[in-house]
Amino acid sequence: MPGNGFGIRNASGLRCVLLLKYTPDGKTGPRPSPRRGARARRGLAGQVFTGGQASATIDVACDTAERRGSLGDRLAVEPLPMSTTAPLLSPELLAQLERLELVSRKVFRGRMKGERRSRRKGQSVEFADFRSYVPGDDLRFIDWNTYARLERLFLKMFLEEEDLHFYALIDASPSMDFGQPTKFQYARQLAAALGFVGLVRGDRVKIQPLGRAAGRAAPVLRGRRSLWRMLEYLDGLAPGEIVPLAEGVRDFCVRNSGKGIVVLITDLMDKAGYQGALRYLLAQEMDIYVIHVLSAEELEPDLQGDLRLVDCEDHDVAEVTVTSALLKRYRQTLAAFIESAREFCTRRGIVYLLARNDLPIERLIQGYLRERGLVR
């Protein structure tokens, strides 16, 4: 666990830095100050204080040796700004994702050279096959060694390497702002992980919330250096855009003509139905994946008694008395809804996957999505 930092000001107004380092036994110990300089020296040291149940050792680095304070000085502790939210992609997860690549079940023609091996033949350093020479072929690809042995002209063919369009569509409706972590947060993390895999392989990556919840156009990213732009864009997204699922997908299809892989991350909770949205994607002739995200509270509700339920999108109200019989009917209805979505997708060549919001992202990608052929 990383250490905490505090700013310390002594009676003379000198600004110092206090660094606390957590040790494996749950206590804290001194940590060397990262500040460097010819005159920077360790000043105050060695005093232990207790706050709550944690103890820590104070280690103060002052700006100059001449302006050190003493233990008798009055110290005021000022917390330094620290991040309150966990990063979307941890270093450990990035290391695992870097070894993967996105795989398309269909053959699409890329716009630019990339690191993804294509099924088409073209120019690269990896040999694919021979074919007979016909008038008009490029003489640079003739295999003269074969001609010397067989006195026939053959052309060398190589595997083409090209980029791939990857789109991640995130449902930003209010129903996604539920659960712990929220379904929207889980969708953002999954989109960031898959987007990073595409960036590493030189693919064109675009992550877009349905309904343009971010209030700005989604950027098209390519290359490893675009990782921070992608994460910054995702950090600016927020749920709450009340847009029908079909309308959001239709807007995406109108604005994006590129062919490739599209991953729709949604809870499929739309009173108008999800079928229209998926039909729009089918018309684009893309490689479609539907990640159906539901929270653990939705799959296994822990409710009882008289309740007043309010729809978070259209504010419909329903007063119910939760009993074991009602919970049983709810689970049966939910199971039927999930099965109908899976069947609808399977019949139309769409890969469907149900994901709980408490399932670790690395398990979802390395296990389930690898089994379904999205990554390898």
DSSP 300-312: S----EEEEEE-T
Distance CA 170, CA 208 (A): 6
Q: What local confidence, expressed as pLDDT, does residue 233 receive?
A: 93
φ/ψ of 57, rounded to 5, equals -105, 130
φ/ψ of 210, rounded to 5, equals -75, 125
Q: Is 62 helix (H, G, I), strand (E, B) or coil?
A: strand
pLDDT per position in the chain (376 positions), as tens?
Answer: 444 444 444 444 444 443 343 344 444 444 444 444 444 333 333 333 333 333 333 333 333 333 344 433 433 344 434 444 578 899 999 999 999 988 887 755 444 444 444 444 445 445 667 778 888 787 777 888 888 888 888 888 776 556 689 999 999 999 999 999 999 999 999 999 999 999 998 889 999 998 654 446 789 999 999 999 999 999 999 988 788 999 999 999 988 877 889 999 999 999 999 999 999 999 988 999 999 999 999 999 988 899 999 988 888 999 999 999 999 999 999 999 999 999 999 999 999 999 999 999 999 999 999 998 899 8
Contact 192, 234 (CB under 8 A): yes
Listed in sequence order, the residues at least 6 apart from 149 whose beta carbon sits closer than 8 Å to its beta carbon are none
Distance CA 166, CA 125 (A): 25
Burial class (CB in 10 A: 0-12, 13-18, 19+), 299: middle
Annotated domain spans of the chain: 4-79, 116-161, 165-295+352-371
Distance CA 125, CA 288 (A): 31
Q: Which two tokens stand for residue 186?
A: 């889980």
In DSSP terms, which residues pair with 24 in a beta bridge?
Answer: none
Q: What local confidence, expressed as pLDDT, does residue 128 receive?
A: 65
CATH number of 165-295+352-371: 3.40.50.410
Give Rg (Cα) of the chain: 29
